[in-house]
Amino acid sequence: MKILIAPDKYRESLSSINVAKAIERGIKKVDKNIETVLCPIADGGEGTVDALVAATSGRYVICDATGPLGEKISAKYGVLGDNKTAVVEMAAASGLWLVPQDKRNPLYTTTYGTGDMVRSALDFGVEKVIVGIGGSSTTDGGMGMAQALGIKFYDKEGNELGYGGIQLEKLYRIDIKNRDPRVNRTIFEVACDVDNPLTGSKGAAYVYSPQKGANPDEVKRLDEGLKNFAKVIKKDLGKDVENLKGTGAAGGLGAGLVAFLDAKLRLGVDIVTETISLRKRMENVDLAITGEGSTDIQTLMGKAPTGVINIAKELKVPVVIISGSVADDMSKLHESGVDAIFSIVPRPISLEESFRNASLYLEKTAEEVIRLFTAAKRK
């Protein structure tokens, strides 16, 4: 028997690779001869670097970077096993988690550190860079990222602009002649799980800036700045990014990556499943197991397990979800091709206890799933 184990992380508890290993331990308790294929997955957000490095036997690279408030930090990104592809999570250098609660304000935070990581990946010599965008502290449209790669931004008086979302309203001209020339030789893909446009009521400022510390007046100011940003990009670079789906992700970083690096916006789970050759790995398996911290109807809206579910359905492979928590109504997931869904929680317990013992609960649940599956196959 051969079983594919392809879970996402359990947020705040276990990484995707540790989830996969716990499931594997449970399987081996039933039968040590069962062949397991560990293939941790992600959806382009937090955990994408870990999942892709683990799945491709890649490596981590630590580089010097600029934090959201201009401080010097160390940031980690991944290089895949082919040594030709880098995976960068913008949150590693520009994430909200790096900004103290009392200093959170997207008028002043910058994506410069994301550009530092991209530049480091170019130094490594990769041919492709995948950028996961999520968990940002910024609403600067990716201006900081572009500045780190040599692009200049000026106001009407010809003064070079500084950092942060507050600069967007001053922008008058963009000069890309000093952009790192290696950008032209590199493929950029953006792993995105939202389709928000850059501006307007569903845009970067109004939807996401309040959680980054912006008050209502600042949100309005940022949205106006992003509109100006889009107008100047169209004037100077000939690219219309204002209403493109996904450009509002990560405070407009999606727009900046498209405008300045000619990046392609793609659903994060599609990039991940393609990069790790998930379809090929799933061929000739008897069962696929996936899961995540919490499974509900939103799972079908581009979250990591959908990649496993869709491919399993194509290949007619039974697929089981093992998650930390499970919503009451799972009918839509069953209709999508999921054969069974299990929660690892054994009894009424606190959230703290579930986090603390997640690995053990996973192992036990996986064991029972495989006992049931093997019993059914004996008939």
Quick: pLDDT tens for 201-245. Answer: 999 999 999 999 999 999 999 999 999 999 999 999 999 999 899
Phi, psi of 99, rounded to the nearest 5 degrees: -110, 125
d(CA 34, CA 2): 6
- What CATH number should be reported for the domain whose range is 48-269? 3.90.1510.10
Chain centroid, CA 362 distance in Å: 24
pTM for the complete prediction?
0.89
What one-letter code names the amino acid at 342? Answer: F
Give pLDDT, residue 113.
98
Query: Which residues contact residue 117 at a Cβ distance below 8 angstroms, ignoring those fewer than 6 apart?
Result: 63, 65, 75, 77, 88, 90, 92, 93
Domain locations along the chain: 2-40+279-378, 48-269
Burial code (b: 16+ CB inside 10 Å, e: under 16) for 312-326 equals beeeebbbbbbbbeb
State how far the Cα of 72 lies from the Cα of 84, in Å rounded to an integer. 27
The pLDDT score that the predictor gives to residue 379 is 66
Name the burial class of residue 176, with classes exposed (0-12), middle (13-18) and buried (19+) by CB atoms within 10 angstroms of its CB. middle
In the chain, the N- to C-terminal Cα span, in Å, equals: 15
The pLDDT of residue 241? 96
Q: Domain 2-40+279-378, what fold? A: Rossmann fold (3.40.50)
**Residue 190: strand pairing partners:** 131, 265
Whether residue 25 contacts residue 365, with contact meaning beta carbons closer than 8 Å, is answered with no
3-state secondary structure of 135: coil
Task: Beginning with the edge strand found earlier in the chain, give each strand of the sheet holding 187-192 in spatial order.
Answer: 59-66, 72-79, 85-89, 128-132, 187-192, 264-267
What pLDDT is stored for residue 36 in this prediction?
97
Q: Residue 45's pLDDT is what?
A: 82
One-letter amino acid at 114 equals T
Question: Which parts of the chain register pLDDT below 70?
Answer: 379
Note the pLDDT tens digit of each residue in 291-310. 999 998 888 878 899 999 99
Distance CA 143, CA 130 (A): 18
Q: In this structure, are residues 272 and 304 in contact, taking their beta carbons and an 8 Å threshold?
A: yes
What pLDDT score was predicted for residue 43? 87
Compute the distance between CA of residue 292 and CA of residue 15 in angstroms, rounded to an integer.
Answer: 10
**Concatenated DSSP letters of 167-236:** GGGG--EEE-TTS-GGGGG-EEEEEE-----SSSTTSHHHHHGGGGT--HHHHHHHHHHHHHHHHHHHHH
Tokens of residue 194, six digits: 């939202």
Which residues make Cβ contacts (< 8 Å) with residue 344, sequence separation at least 6? 322, 323, 324, 354, 358, 361, 362, 364, 365
